[in-house]
Amino acid sequence: MRRVDKLGRIVIPMELRKKYGLTEGARIEFLDVGEGITVRPSEPVCRICRARIAEDAALPLCENCIAEVLKSQRD
């Protein structure tokens, strides 16, 4: 359990910051989902390795994972 401080701040648990690549300065967004609030990275991340990718990326994958997928299809 976490408590909200008087300025409305909370600390995101370390394991979740690591999992979602939330280093200092990372952008997050809050979504009101009716029964609560979802907090998520606002920058697009690779669906496989969660590395950050460009806002205008054609695929939801980083260059490394695209290369891996293409390589695995050749074999």
Least distance between Zn ion and beta carbon 47 (Å):
8
* Contact stretch for Zn ion (CB under 5 A) within 5-13, 15-23, 36-44, 51-59: 51-59
| DSSP E strands, the chain | 28-32, 37-41
Instruction: Spell out the residues 6+ positions from residue 48 whose beta carbon is closer than 8 angstroms to its own.
Output: 61, 62, 65, 68
Residue 44 and residue 60: Cα distance in Å, rounded?
7
By CB under 5 A, residue 69 contacts Zn ion: no
Mark 21-50 with x for binding to Zn ion (rule: CB under 5 A) and - for no binding: -------------------------x-xx-
Residues that bind Zn ion (CB under 5 A): 46, 48-49, 51, 62, 65
